[in-house]
Amino acid sequence: MNNYMKPALALVAAFTILGGCGHEAAPAPSPSAGASASASAGSTASVTPTATASATPQAPSSAAPQQSSKPSSTPKGSPAPTTSAGKNGAAQVVAQPASMTVLVNKQNSLPSDYEPADLVYPDVPFVFNEKIEKRKMRKEAAGALEKLFAGAKKDGINLAGVSAYRSYATQKSVFQRYVAQDGEEKAKTYSAVPGTSEHETGLAIDVSGSDGKCAAEDCFGGTKEANWLEKHAPEYGFIIRYPKGKADITGYQYEPWHIRYVGTDLSKELASKGQTLEEYFNAVPVAK
């Protein structure tokens, strides 16, 4: 190679190296899945804004959110509300309605359009045979209920479901019936205004003995079924949601038949401390 060719070849090689660095663009960051519901109480999704929005919207995932029975390690406090008013005058709307530990009561309402996405029929006996709405529960809670019923049966206790999930429309009908029967003030001591019922979460169920006697009635208290539930429900992730002597806190009279799924970590903690969800979350006491 003569001396005139060497500089020319060096220039060609340099341009080739520089040009190769720009062919592969860095992948654009994916948009945060902030619209999906969290499964843990108090957890908050972190969203990092990007400088340029993607021109093509990303299709939402069809997969159901994975629910965890373990409560978040976030310090306890009142569940974060949204800024909008709740249904029927409730003080606030819960921020994470799909959480297994969501607090729903007279002061914490579900969003107006909330409906659980993973409702199933638990394989347990009910006091009726039809496969209707009030037989459904959310998938994780349904699985835990099946284990609870099996555990009770081993101890010689035969349980039956009375009423599980209720839609907003169903709860509205139920509440209006009680208002017509006892008046609104009295009805509010044992029935929830639509939008504020735990049954609408798909995580709560009313339970009785297999014969259906005293189903959702005061006479259920003190029965062998009620005593078994009080002692053993936390082992399966359930709590007696409205315990005796806590009406000033929960806003409802004692209901030994109403159990609520929160996951085993939290249920055992609440049982050991004798706390309600309101006390655990440091929530403002619910007015009667």
Distance spanning both ends of the chain, measured CA to CA: 98
Q: Of 60, 143, 67, 136, whose CA–CA distance to 98 is shortest?
A: 67
The upper half-sphere exposure of residue 229, i.e. CA atoms within 13 Å in the direction of its Cβ, equals: 31
The answer, yes or no, to whether residue 30 has pLDDT greater than 90, is: no
More confident residue, 169 or 32: 169
Note the pLDDT tens digit of each residue in 211-262. Answer: 999 999 999 999 999 999 999 999 999 999 999 999 999 999 999 999 999 9
The amino acid present at 188, given as its one-letter code, is K
Q: Beta partners for 208?
A: 160
pLDDT, residue 83, reads 35
- pLDDT confidence bin for 286, thresholds 50/70/90: low
pLDDT, residue 112, reads 79
More confident residue, 28 or 229: 229
- Domain 87-280 falls in which CATH fold? Muramoyl-pentapeptide Carboxypeptidase; domain 2 (3.30.1380)
The answer, yes or no, to whether residue 273 has pLDDT greater than 50, is: yes
Note the pLDDT tens digit of each residue in 103-144. Answer: 999 999 998 789 999 999 999 999 999 999 999 999 999 999
pLDDT, residue 261, reads 98
Note the pLDDT tens digit of each residue in 159-198. Answer: 999 999 999 999 999 999 999 999 999 999 899 999 999 9
pLDDT, residue 146, reads 98
Note the pLDDT tens digit of each residue in 45-85. Answer: 333 333 333 334 444 433 334 443 334 433 344 444 443 45
More confident residue, 150 or 38: 150
Average pLDDT over residues 136-161: 98
pLDDT, residue 28, reads 36
pLDDT, residue 145, reads 98
Residue tagged active-site, from 24, 255, 269, 278: 255
Does residue 255 carry a catalytic annotation?
yes
- Taking all residues of the chain, what is their mean pLDDT, rounded to a whole number? 78
The answer, yes or no, to whether residue 96 has pLDDT greater than 50, is: yes
pLDDT, residue 88, reads 53
The answer, yes or no, to whether residue 24 has pLDDT greater than 90, is: no
59 near 67, Cβ under 8 Å? no
Q: Is 126 helix (H, G, I), strand (E, B) or coil?
A: strand
Domain locations along the chain: 87-280
pTM above 0.75, yes or no: no
More confident residue, 199 or 5: 199
Residue 119, Cβ density class (10 Å: 0-12 exposed, 13-18 middle, ≥19 buried): middle
Q: Beta partners for 160?
A: 208
Query: Dihedral (C-alpha) 162, 167, 168, 174: value to the nearest 10 degrees?
Result: -30
